[in-house]
Chains A and B, each alone.
Chain A
Amino acid sequence: MKSKKLKIVLVILLIFLAFLALNKFFYLNIKNIVFSISSPIQKFLWQKQITMSEIFGSFFKLKELKIDNRELKKENLFLKSKILELKELEKENKNLREALDLELEKEFKLILAEIISQKSEGDFVLINRGKKDGVSENMPLITKEKVLVGKVGQVFNNFSQVILISNKNFTFSVKVAVPAGRQESEEDSILGSAKGKGNFKLQIELLPPDSPIKTGDIVSTALLEGIFPENLLVGEIKNIKKSDIKPFQEGEIEPYFRKLNLETLFLIKEEE
């Protein structure tokens, strides 16, 4: 009986040591091989999933879509008038640039990436770009609409782990754009901090108590910490909790990346 127990303990110890050795010496290589073998199937399934979620999504959200459509029509008219204004400003800007001999606007150097799978252990995804493609830790991942998705975590040879902005313990600085009619001071945006809550939820914190933020206001990245470039879209305010006890306002953000089909994404390599 005693020798049987001893055998079990020895087997467990051996397995444990084998796992430690694997982690220490072969972790990145093994994961890269496993992901390489599985990625064609997973990529195919991920694309099918996008199509399926589109079909199911529109089926369950018919009522919501009608309201959205109405709102979008209104917004469209408003934006058309804004475009006219901006065209005038563009002309003015172009003339000023020529006059001042300024460089062209700074642009991002991008790496095209595709999602392969979404992990169960938190808000992580696996993408098909790795060390070989020039990916390094902390690179921001965005959509073609300039919506922030997350940042690179672990980097393998051909693949990378992306930590979604909704991941627990993910914190970054943001700003909330306040429409012209609601501005109380000269500032057109209010700084705050976004924090991931897991399960695709995002919270906004550290907003000044008297700031005139409302549901629907647009949240974008701020340059305070320097992890992300400025003005990447994050989401819109879902709700705001004002409390007399707390020194700051906080609320929930509806992340934009959840509304989009994450088919084609871009890693921001560096600012040129």
Chain B
Amino acid sequence: MKNYLLKNIEKYLILIFFFYFLLLVQENFLNNFTIFSFTLNIYLISLFLLIFFSKGNFGIESAFLAGIILDLFSFYPFGVFTFSLVLTYFLVERISQIFQKSNVLVNLLLFVVFFSFYKISLIFGNFFFNLILDKI
């Protein structure tokens, strides 16, 4: 486990800086511009592309690190984004196995599922964490 972590430390650092850079662009530029009441979420789009065009454990590692970065910079309790993104990753990965061929339409559909489930799990995650934190 230790060796595995040491070997991949460079990869994790690059991923952390990449997500931090995306967060800066998102929070300081894109969140202020709306097109037909929608905001372009470059952070989620990049994460989706990273997850579904990578192999092995890279997808889950990306989802986890992206969640950690969002957790650090958001006003939600720690863990809400991490759990939401990891859960979303597992769900969409299962769904993607149903489709034997990958094309633009399938990827678009997967992104819609990814985005929708992420939003729902975020609401529930926030509610769940706040509920537990209120009790303890």
Contacts and interface: CB of A to CB of B under 8 A. Distances in A.
B46 interface: no
A120 B26 contact: yes
B78 A42 contact: no
A48 B83 CA distance: 33
A38 B29 contact: no
Nearest to B75: A161
Contacts of A89: none
A200 B77 CA distance: 24
Contacts of A108: none
A20 B136 contact: yes
Interface stretch (B11-19, B30-38, B109-117): B30-38
A194 B112 CA distance: 32
Contacts of A199: 34, 37-39
A239 B76 CA distance: 34
A46 B31 CA distance: 11
Contacts of B41: 120
Interface stretch (A23-31, A176-184, A219-227, A263-271): A23-31
Nearest to B38: A199
Contacts of A23: 77-79, 129, 133
B73 A34 contact: yes
Interface residues of A, number: 33
B75 A118 contact: no
A49 B24 CA distance: 11
A55 interface: no
B75 A201 contact: no
Contact of B32 (A20, A24, A118, A121): A118
Most buried by A among B26, B32, B34, B122: B32
Interface string B75-106: 11111001100000000000000000000000
B43 interface: yes
A120 B72 contact: no
Interface in A13-72: 15-16, 19-20, 22-24, 27, 30-31, 34-35, 38, 41-42, 45-46, 48-49, 52-53
B74 interface: yes
A147 to B, nearest CB: 17
B28 interface: yes
Interface size class of B (residues with CB under 8 A): 20 to 34
Interface SS of chain A: helix
Given A19-B79, A153-B75, A119 B31 contact: yes
A158 interface: no
B5 interface: no
Nearest to B136: A24
A166 B37 CA distance: 13
B78 A119 contact: no
Nearest to B74: A121
B111 to A, nearest CB: 17
A172 interface: no
A255 to B, nearest CB: 12
A34 B75 contact: no
A30 B72 contact: yes
Contacts of B78: 19, 22-23, 27, 30
A138 interface: no
A228 interface: no
B27 interface: yes
A252 B82 CA distance: 36
Given A27-B78, A154-B75, A200-B34, A20 B28 contact: no
Contacts of A120: 26-27, 31, 39, 41, 43, 74
A200 B39 CA distance: 11
The 8 closest A-B pairs by CB, nearest first: A19-B79, A45-B28, A117-B27, A118-B31, A23-B77, A22-B78, A34-B72, A161-B75
